[in-house]
Amino acid sequence: MDKTSIPAIRIEGLMKRYGTGDAAVDALKGVDMTVWPGEVVGLIGPSGSGKTTLLKCLGAVIEPTGGHMQLSGETIYDGKDGGWRTGDLRALRRDRIGFVFQAPYLIPFLDVTDNVALLPMLAGIDNAAARKRALELLTALDVAHRAGAQVSQLSGGEQQRVAIARSLANHAPIILADEPTAPLDSERALTVIRILNDMAVQYQTAIIVVTHDEKIIPTFKRIYHIRDGRTHEEAGEGRPL
């Protein structure tokens, strides 16, 4: 974590209300969060506490209803100044945020390399350069020997590593991981978290991991607890990986 630099994510007083009038639900009631380049933080909270809503706001999938969000020092949302401050939310999602989900959601008719290379190709990088970058990431994630395989031939753990490679393929400064270890056994879950930590340091990526997984919670150095739409920060055990 590099605290001399600008935070990758800074959120202040973030609010999200779904619906209006009697049907309104205040899912986020003033969330504060700061995540630095190169760190992995846990986001933990009971069902319905607002975790998914927070990730969706950060990922520009839904619009908050108040507060302030900055990515790498740039205001992307300001509730007091017209809402979204960027005209191209699709480019924001594509270029600045990587997603890792519980299921890998790989594309079955593309091989492993092209699954990772697809996003850079869509962002305008030529095919050979995109494949080269994909191969570098697959090597870093120790799954390059499967580069030409169809995704259906991979184990669950291998597929999740390919999904992590894909989330890093655009060199996004931020990765949002939603229950990335839920389907994995203890050893594989810890491997995924070790990889996320290594990648965070190597690429100075800020990673938020939403999880209920007791196997990985002791590994976080910092944890945000969310309850009833509000966060509080706590030091984690930071157990070595």
Cα separation, 16 vs 132, whole angstroms? 40
Q: Identify the three-state secondary structure at position 194.
A: helix
Phi-psi region of 238 (alpha: psi -120 to 50; beta: other; left: phi over 0): left
Largest CA distance in the chain: 56
33-67 as b/e: b if 16+ CB within 10 A: bbbbbbbbbbbbbeeebbbbbbbbbbbbeeebbbb
Q: What's the one-letter identity of residue 197?
A: N
Q: How far is the CB of 175 from ligand ATP (least distance, A)?
A: 18
The region of 49-57, 66-74, 145-153, 198-206 touching ligand ATP under the rule CB under 6 A is 49-57
Under the criterion CB under 6 A, does residue 48 sit at the interface with ligand ATP?
yes
The one among 33, 37, 40, 53 contacting ligand ATP by CB under 6 A: 53
Q: What is the DSSP string of 14-59?
A: EEEEES-GGG-EEEEEEEEEEE-TT-EEEEE--TTSSHHHHHHHHT
Q: How far is the CB of 207 from ligand ATP (least distance, A)?
A: 18
Under the criterion CB under 6 A, does residue 50 sit at the interface with ligand ATP?
yes
Under the criterion CB under 6 A, does residue 49 sit at the interface with ligand ATP?
yes
Q: How far is the CB of 239 from ligand ATP (least distance, A)?
A: 24
The region of 29-37, 51-59, 78-86, 213-221 touching ligand ATP under the rule CB under 6 A is 51-59
The region of 43-51, 100-108, 110-118, 152-160 touching ligand ATP under the rule CB under 6 A is 43-51
For residue 68, list its beta bridge partners.
12, 78
Residue 47 or 152: which CB sits closer to ligand ATP? 47
Q: How far is the CB of 31 from ligand ATP (least distance, A)?
A: 11
Cα separation, 45 vs 47, whole angstroms? 7
Residue 45 or 120: which CB sits closer to ligand ATP? 45
Give the x/- contact pattern for ligand ATP in 7-26, rule: CB under 6 A.
-----------xx-----x-
Query: Which residue, among 35, 28, 30, has the nearest Cα to 9 in the 3D structure?
Result: 35
Question: Cα Rg for the chain, rounded, in angstroms?
Answer: 18
The region of 47-55, 68-76, 148-156, 167-175 touching ligand ATP under the rule CB under 6 A is 47-55
- List residues near ligand ATP by CB under 6 A: 18-19, 25, 27, 45, 47-53
